[in-house]
Amino acid sequence: MATKKLRVLVLVCSTRPNALGPGIGQWLTDALAPTAEQLGVDLVSQTIGDLDLPFLDEEEHPSTGVHHHEHTRRWSRIVDGADGFVIVTPEYNYGMPATLKNALDYLGPEWAWKPVGFVSYGHTSAGTRAVQHAKQVVTTLRLVPLGSTVALRIADAVHGDRVDPGTRHAETAEGLLAELVRVARALAPMREREDTAAVAGPLPGSYARQLGPDDAAEVTVLQRCCWMEEALANGTLDIPALHESPDDVGAWLAEWDATGLWLDGRLLGMVRTRRDGTDLHVGRLAVAPDLQGLGVGRWLLGRAEAAGAGCARVVLSTGAASHRNIALYQRQGYASLPDGQDDGVVSLAKPLAA
């Protein structure tokens, strides 16, 4: 999957005046800062009390994702933008605070397929019963609770007005974050597949989405796999796709409209398009070598052509000796341009219906 930085929300639940929650949340983010940097994580702290959420007041069921109130829409944006959560919670009467239950109940799809870890605090039980209570709820929302937890006894963690649980608990918190990162990356295909912008692909379980600079590493690998065949067929290694670094790939991903086909975190194929006047230029059509002949290339080409509304024709090119590619394009209605062969590259075009 993409190697972009993960965004982890540290959610502080207690809303009582002078509560310990904010202090514990601050200790946690400070203790985890070096580990977060190493793991490529942005830690974002959020106190439930700052959200101004009344008891659930939306008319539509949370599972619909339809939110009428601005406080709900703001909360939805915060949760939707997170890749995982660390919940800092006290224990009230053997359970989690009503504020946490209410915040969870407000939303539905925004929570799905994201990991959640818990940092609890209390007296005898160190808040562990609140965590067990919360886990029953979060699994219903398709959140994935971690096995690692941090449980703080107030007598051990608070010294006067200073929150300092000590090295042992800081190390446990580091382990929790490391586990959360692994699970968040493993669950990423589940989240992407259910995203409203994802499109079902031609292979069972596959989906397509727009590619961006964060996908440069995966695109670089796919290019080098696919264009080695081009190099062998055309007897030359002088092919740009074989020599581009991830930074080079990230640069053109920021400029072209690129689509990638994914399955279980693997980039199966891709194509890119760009308009130039009345022409739609199509390039970098690539399919993993072990999946060629299954219609993936035709499907990606069709997706690319669909972006050509208002254009007069589609233009693309391939190696002059890449006979399999040329045959594919000809079957899809492309013809060689009269002056379209230069330095071992042939250009083809296909008119688009007005």
Tell me which CATH code domain 6-193 carries: 3.40.50.360
- pLDDT, average across residues 214-239: 88
Whether the CB-CB separation of 185 and 6 falls below 8 Å is answered with yes
DSSP letter for each residue of 248-303: HHHHHHTTSEEEEEEETTEEEEEEEEEEETTEEEEEEEEE-GGGTTSSHHHHHHHH
Q: Supply the pLDDT for residue 340.
A: 59
| pLDDT confidence of residue 1 | 45
* Model pLDDT for residues 64-106, shown as the tens digit of each residue: 999 999 999 999 999 999 999 999 999 999 999 999 999 999 9
Q: 33 vs 22, 117, 169, 185, CA distance in Å?
A: 16, 16, 15, 19
Number of helices and strands in the chain (H, E): 11, 15
pTM (two decimals): 0.79
Q: Domain boundaries in the chain?
A: 6-193, 200-351
pLDDT band at 141 (very low <50, low <70, confident <90, very high): very high
Mean pLDDT of 7-30: 93
Write down the pLDDT at residue 166.
82
Alpha-carbon gap, residue 297 to 202, rounded angstroms: 10
Mean pLDDT of the chain: 92
The answer as to CATH 3.20.20.70 being correct for domain 200-351 is: no
